[in-house]
Amino acid sequence: MTDSQQEPGPQEQVQAASKAFEQEFERFVRFTDEVIELTGLTLEQAVEEQRALAEVRTRHLGKKSDFAATKKLIGKVPADQRAAFGQLVQSVESQIVSQLDAAESTLKSFIEIQRINRESIDVTLPGRRPRYGHRHPITLLRERIEDIFVSLGYAIEDGREIETDFYNFTALNIPDNHPARGSADTFYTTDNFALRSQTSTVQIHAMQRRGVPVRMIAPGRVFRRDTPDPTHNPMFYQVEGLCVDRGITMAHLKGTVAEFLRRMFGPDTVTRFRPSYFPFTEPSAEFDFSCFKCKGSGCRICKNSGWIELGGSGMVHPNVLRTVGVDPQEYSGFAFGLGIDRMAALMYNLDDIRLLFENDVRFLEQFE
């Protein structure tokens, strides 16, 4: 270096710029020998080095760099030294450039390879087996019930879960003062709308839409203001059945329910009807079937009675037919309704019906 008092000569300035570069480039020298893998660099570190290297390039070769300043000196050196000086500048520049390029290209290909490796799949790894889902026990049972009724010529109807007073009650011949209309029994959403408390509502929709004759079942969710306990849940599932045609009698009702239960629980299943009352049927009956476990001799499931109570039924009330514009003189029909969850609880021997709705896979995955 020259004395600080004295302005350094052009050659000295070129050497100073070159030296300053060499000093900064020192940390990148290891990338020019092409065995970058031995540096133990991670992908992220390599990217960072690449960025730092680009900065060094601008700092030492950019327009405002000391080296760029030396180029402007070419015109100022005496004519006889100009060619030699120009060559010096050029050779220093090409040295700097080639070192930068070498490091840059090594880093670049290292980064590319690392990225490809990271994204590639090791085909020798054992596959991850997807966990199979399966249907909910209520769905399984609903599908069995549907299959039986479809084979008997019934259509499947889909109802709505929010209904007006008309479909919930009035059209089903339920009087104005009936307790089921009260907010203690039924969940009202807004005025005049309530979560349906039975699938019987679908009888009305089905007759309005399809007219008669009609044969349909309607499985679905219903809601009642019950406190949850082992045998109650405020939301549960029912299946409604309706058959209306000319000349339908109680014998058809009994034959249909008996056949359904035989297909469900085996050919020996016996069905019995007990007189009952429902506003939308007259006469009305509840039906029981002989216990599928003990075949009627008495066990824990049937509480030693030999019978299992299943649902309600009856001949469609003339008022219901009239409401949907069907002449009760010409047409008659039967209807029935039963609880799917109750049936599931019996069949799977569940001591708490709420298990069906807690969505605990350890419970649910037992039913295939």
Residues that bind ligand DAH (CB under 6 A): 198, 200, 240, 278, 281, 312-314, 335-337
- DSSP 8-state secondary structure symbol assigned to residue 55: H
Distance CA 344, CA 141 (A): 7
Tell me which residue of 42, 51, 49, 37 sits closest to 118, measured CA to CA.
42
Tell me which residue of 280, 301, 279 sits closest to 288, measured CA to CA.
301
What's the min distance (Å) between Cβ of 284 and ligand DAH?
A: 6
In DSSP terms, which residues pair with 312 in a beta bridge? 286, 337
Distance CA 134, CA 242 (A): 30
What's the min distance (Å) between Cβ of 142 and ligand DAH?
A: 16
What's the min distance (Å) between Cβ of 199 and ligand DAH?
A: 7
What's the min distance (Å) between Cβ of 198 and ligand DAH?
A: 4
What's the min distance (Å) between Cβ of 193 and ligand DAH?
A: 19
Q: First vs last Cα of the chain: how many Å apart?
A: 88
What's the min distance (Å) between Cβ of 229 and ligand DAH?
A: 18
Three-class SS state of 259? helix
Cβ-based neighbours of 128, under 8 Å, separated by 6 or more? none
- Closest to ligand DAH by CB, 24 vs 282, is 282
- Closest to ligand DAH by CB, 65 vs 313, is 313
Distance CA 310, CA 342 (A): 8
- Judge if the upstream peptide bond of residue 283 is cis by omega within 30 degrees of 0: yes
- Closest to ligand DAH by CB, 100 vs 202, is 202
Three-class SS state of 252? helix
Q: To which residue do tokens 């100073």 refer?
A: 16
- Judge if the upstream peptide bond of residue 213 is cis by omega within 30 degrees of 0: yes
What's the min distance (Å) between Cβ of 211 and ligand DAH?
A: 19
- Closest to ligand DAH by CB, 283 vs 298, is 283
- Is residue 315 within 8 A of residue 283, CB to CB? The reply is yes
- Closest to ligand DAH by CB, 243 vs 356, is 243
- Closest to ligand DAH by CB, 219 vs 337, is 337
- Closest to ligand DAH by CB, 335 vs 344, is 335
Residue 145: in which H helix or E strand, if any? helix 137-151
What's the min distance (Å) between Cβ of 138 and ligand DAH?
A: 17
- Closest to ligand DAH by CB, 21 vs 336, is 336
- Closest to ligand DAH by CB, 130 vs 275, is 275
Cβ-based neighbours of 25, under 8 Å, separated by 6 or more? 56, 99, 100, 103
What's the min distance (Å) between Cβ of 150 and ligand DAH?
A: 19
Distance CA 111, CA 23 (A): 25
